[in-house]
Amino acid sequence: MSDYRLSDEELASINHTFEGQWHGNYKTPDQVVESPTREEFNNLPEWQQRELFFKYSAGADAGKWDDPKNALPRGTEPERGKWTAKAEEGYEVDPDELRALASSMQYKMQIWKRKLDKVATISVSQADLGNIQGSEEFVGVVNASKAGFQEYIGAIQTAYNGVIERLKATADQYENAHSKTQSTVGGVDPSAGPVPDLS
């Protein structure tokens, strides 16, 4: 069972070449991974699974400012004279998509956190260094660095969790607003008075 979980659709989208490594004058052959089965993916070395996971999983393009999928404004400009309860193409927001992104981020962070937690369990003692001269000072530096690293990682995790919670809250707000708008528009009696010009 792999730590790096991809959906069947994401596995099918994989088309990646791992370049061979040079060993002196000899280079190992390139390795092509194309639409692997789950078993084939799980049998790959962990570093290859990790690279494919971050390249092909949901939200993989979220951090790329120049990706067309992230372009603002949207590719379609809605008709401004048309007014209905449903957002026109170009301004629509899919709460389920926001929740899926939040879920993907949460899953990736759990993997990341498990790896980093292993760093916290590493300890170095003077005995490990053979009690040589300067080992006490070196151990002090290592422990101070580890404490600083854990504090830094904790701050990143807090910020990351904040983004995840904001995504979930935004999805809820859009869903509630859409439901309320539909309810309000649906409750309007068109025969009650003159129709305003919304163009």
Residues 86 and 104 sit within 8 Å (Cβ to Cβ): no
pLDDT in tens, 45-64: 988 998 898 888 876 665 56
pLDDT in tens, 22-40: 888 888 899 999 999 999 9
The highest-confidence range among 20-34, 90-104, 145-159, by mean pLDDT, is: 20-34
Short-list 56, 40, 46, 48, CA closest to 6: 56
- What integer is the mean pLDDT of 74-86? 56
Rounded to whole angstroms, how far apart are CA atoms 71 and 195? 36
CA 85 to chain centre: 31
Residues 65 and 43 sit within 8 Å (Cβ to Cβ): no
Question: Is residue 10 over pLDDT 80?
Answer: yes
pLDDT higher at 178 or 101: 101
- Which helix (H) or strand (E) covers residue 180, if one does? helix 135-186
| pLDDT at residue number 135 | 86
Count CA atoms closer than 13 A to 189's CA, side-chain side: 3
The chain-wide mean pLDDT, for the chain, equals: 79
| pLDDT at residue number 14 | 93
